[in-house]
Amino acid sequence: MDDRIVISSSMKRLNKTDKTKTVLLGIHKTPWFDPEAENDFESDFIQSIHLININFSNFYEAYKDLDRAVEAFQYANLIGRFQLIKNDEKQAKHKEKIQSLCQNKNIPLSEALEN
């Protein structure tokens, strides 16, 4: 039996013109993984989503922490390490570097994340 899982997340906001609809701000998805495996990326990801490591000052911050962990795991194979960045500004710069890396290799980011 295959015990692998995949986790996806997305930050959302209300549509500015139609308040009955929501807008996805980015969809993040982990690769398939075994949560019991000893792989460093997987272990680091599981550790990052333990409740003691999540900011529960409000639901938005908790979900943002979870979404960032999923995004960091998504990028781990591409950059060679699991790097969770919780600062918004630093995270934006990190994402720009990853996109630049893909551009230099002439690989679309979406394609690079699938491998």
> What span, in angstroms and rounded, lies between the C-alpha atoms of 31 and 52?
24
Q: What mean pLDDT do residues 82-110 have?
A: 84
- Predicted confidence at residue 114, as pLDDT, reads 65
| Residue 40, pLDDT score | 82
Question: Which residue type, as a one-letter code, is found at position 107?
Answer: I
C-alpha to C-alpha distances, 58 to 55, 64, 100, 107, nearest whole angstrom = 8, 10, 34, 38
At 1 the pLDDT is: 47
CA 18, 19, 23: angle at the middle one, nearest 5?
80
pTM: 0.82
Residues 31-76 pLDDT 10s: 899 888 778 889 999 999 999 999 999 999 999 999 999 999 998 8
